[in-house]
Structure 1
């Protein structure tokens, strides 16, 4: 007879709230402890909600592969007011239809054309950096990656009020999501409390910007080859249908969130780690000097910069841009021979898996060399998954990796970033993993 997952050992339940308080207060610490102290399926209750943490790669792969049996969790569904029916939040046939429409937009050859945009914007940012200056590099990376994603979507430099509206909306959304996560998404956004009103107003402001861009493009009939044009031209192979303005809005909002937040957080983690590991920084600079000399990088250089790419992979291991993915079982099912009830939330944590000593020797140490000899391909699926996995793997993975390598190469050539002593570096587990208090660095110009 099959056992229930709730017969397995897990954290002690604290009255009716279960493990909700522990998970809400210190999610990274709580999940790490569960992953180290218990088995491959760790049952718990978050409030009245049954949940479990999966730490066996096979189980993680199974859940991420079966997209109809395991759907996005209640937490991500709470973001539908921001993302609508975009790729990140839609399900079933709606998701499949949109994925098919969007797949050609992210073809390798198409995104390659954005390499020059990425380097140009980075060099413009560096012109404003001064030797000896103290800066919040997380804010700088957020601004830079947002400007890049806005340029690639709209073919316009939106470093004015429009970009500020979008940046503000996304920041408010992150704060709102973090607040709701701590409450286990019990109070939804319709309840008229100040943080919900602020969230609603920010989305309306962002929508005005997006719809204005769509309307302007439709009126002009232009096709500058940006992502908006590609999205507007995309046709369903089966019925020839195109995206409505609402669908365009949802995909653009999703691209703006996913397309800048994760890359900026990855690069912020890189600067923290390079400052702590000067030997890694020296090897990185040696490769950049050998391949580039004094010139700027281009997409053609990426295959010649293997160590630079390893630095990015290792930074995403130690500071994964997303700390956890969650799915909800749509019906009673089995994982590893154990019964999982319908409605159970299945948690798969990149933070836990990427740092687990079972899979990575000296797992707390920043060692890019570990990615040599195709380590990523040799690891079991479900061990290292910064972009997710299965049919819903991030569609922008190639775009993000290209951007991260080009931005790192462009900046590291010209500046060393030295962490300000005693500035608290505290990872905040929201939709993404971002520094709670920013990252203060002193700039040292490389002559």
Structure 2
């Protein structure tokens, strides 16, 4: 059974010395190529090639300790703060302590707009727009860049949710280019930094990364300024609530830069996770015609030729499981670095104060002790009877604990709608499947462009 399952692109695990050499030769800062075979079997292991103590944690119980039970003792590391601060400064995603508590209280009302029943119309409108554009590409026989298109679509959806307005095509593609440039150039986890054990908060970001962050913040700032010029919020949406937010203790509100910071947090939470997973999902489906037919049959059985409503998405189990399996195989955040504030012991491994505690969804999701056929595409593993047999805490694409991604439910319904609508309407053919491989810098994404032909189906509605 296992040998018949599809193995999507991923580095072949090898020994630690060969993995180190492969990463050095590749020269593209890809951490996935650095992971030795032993990591997919161990529970907790120190990484011995860095001057800085790094503890790789794969055990679900230890992960719960770090991310839930003793979260105050293991804050986000200087690595993540240094990487994301050019985009969101000290926004909710990377703030800590009293700053995080204050921000969370002020931002709480805005979370209600991430409720799917309130945002579903925005999703439907954005999907209709991309279908209109793809119909033209299909008629002309022109290929598209899959990652670029998924980024465009999810950015449009979250913009409609935050600002109550659609994202113009030119701005959407500028945003994607800037985000891709930021990921490619930002000083984040790389082999040299790991070996030298540098402190990333003191690392000056490269000019390309700073420029890309400025472009992204400029676009978000322009949209924020448009709303702030209106005075009191005129629409019930995320940015309106952020403008109106007040500190429950002092009564002060967010200033302009702080609003942009928090908008950036919502944008990342509602955009990158889904765009990444959908890119991989559509690529995999282009290689798996039988699964495509299962999806189409499910939509036909549940919705017929009618529209896909919010109520219908709850019944599309196959589409939901394809999304969940894509997140398992290609978690948007391949690595979640924390830092230990005290000398401690994790599962028998001494962990000194200042050590980096590395939790890797990429490794955990492919850990051979936690998953059957761990490197194979098998959406049925999330069917209720099989899901019950999986260890708790072995699936963490949205993180875990109080810092879990705020867009998890939003992303799931969004993805089910997009998969179901687009699979029903188009056939997908990847032009360069043999060249597709994942890399992990800030996010897990294709190393190059996935060129896709979409062909409008005669029976597509």
- Measured against the shorter chain, the TM-score band is 0.7 to 0.9
Q: Judge conservation of contact 1:425–1:436 (CA < 8 Å) in 2.
A: yes
Q: Answer yes or no: is 1:145 the counterpart of 2:158.
A: no
Q: Judge conservation of contact 1:263–1:400 (CA < 8 Å) in 2.
A: yes
1:204 Cα deviation from its structure 2 partner = 2.8
Moved more, 145-154 or 366-375: 366-375
Q: Judge conservation of contact 1:19–1:45 (CA < 8 Å) in 2.
A: no
Q: Judge conservation of contact 1:19–1:47 (CA < 8 Å) in 2.
A: no
1:273-323 CA-to-partner distances (Å, cap 9, x unmatched) read 212222221111111111222233122212111221111111111222221
Counterpart of 2:77 (choices 66, 73, 87) is: 73
Which residue number in structure 2 is paired with residue 390 of structure 1? 401
For 1:30 and 1:361, the matched residues in 2 are separated by 23
Q: Answer yes or no: is 1:281 the counterpart of 2:286.
A: no
Q: Answer yes or no: is 1:127 the counterpart of 2:132.
A: yes
Which residue number in structure 1 is paired with residue 211 of structure 2? 201
1:60-104 CA-to-partner distances (Å, cap 9, x unmatched) read 111111222111122211121222111221111211222233333
Which residue number in structure 2 is paired with residue 31 of structure 1? 35
Which residue number in structure 2 is paired with residue 7 of structure 1? none
1:325 Cα deviation from its structure 2 partner = 1.1
1:218-245 CA-to-partner distances (Å, cap 9, x unmatched) read 2213422221112222344455443222
Q: Answer yes or no: is 1:213 the counterpart of 2:223.
A: yes
Unmatched runs of 5 consecutive residues or more in structure 2: 1-14
Q: Answer yes or no: is 1:312 the counterpart of 2:331.
A: no
Which residue number in structure 2 is paired with residue 343 of structure 1? 354
For 2:422 and 2:291, the matched residues in 1 are separated by 15
Q: Answer yes or no: is 1:44 the counterpart of 2:44.
A: no
Query: What's the RMSD between the two structures over aligned residues?
Result: 3.0
Scaled by the length of structure 1, the TM-score of the pair is 0.87
1:177 Cα deviation from its structure 2 partner = 2.7
Which residue number in structure 2 is paired with residue 106 of structure 1? 111
1:324-381 CA-to-partner distances (Å, cap 9, x unmatched) read 2111111212212432101111111111111223222222222212111165566333
Q: 1:18 to 1:104 in 2, by over 3 A?
A: farther
Which residue number in structure 2 is paired with residue 89 of structure 1? 94
Q: Secondary structure at the match of 1:444?
A: strand
Which residue number in structure 2 is paired with residue 159 of structure 1? 168
Q: Judge conservation of contact 1:376–1:384 (CA < 8 Å) in 2.
A: no
1:215 Cα deviation from its structure 2 partner = 2.9
Unmatched runs of 5 consecutive residues or more in structure 1: 1-9
Q: Judge conservation of contact 1:178–1:431 (CA < 8 Å) in 2.
A: no
Which residue number in structure 2 is paired with residue 257 of structure 1? 268
Q: Judge conservation of contact 2:426–2:454 (CA < 8 Å) in 1.
A: yes
Q: Answer yes or no: is 1:184 the counterpart of 2:187.
A: no
1:199 Cα deviation from its structure 2 partner = 2.3
Q: Judge conservation of contact 1:18–1:47 (CA < 8 Å) in 2.
A: no
Q: Judge conservation of contact 1:119–1:296 (CA < 8 Å) in 2.
A: no
Q: Answer yes or no: is 1:269 the counterpart of 2:273.
A: no
For 1:101 and 1:20, the matched residues in 2 are separated by 43
Scaled by the length of structure 2, the TM-score of the pair is 0.85
Q: Secondary structure at the match of 2:71?
A: coil
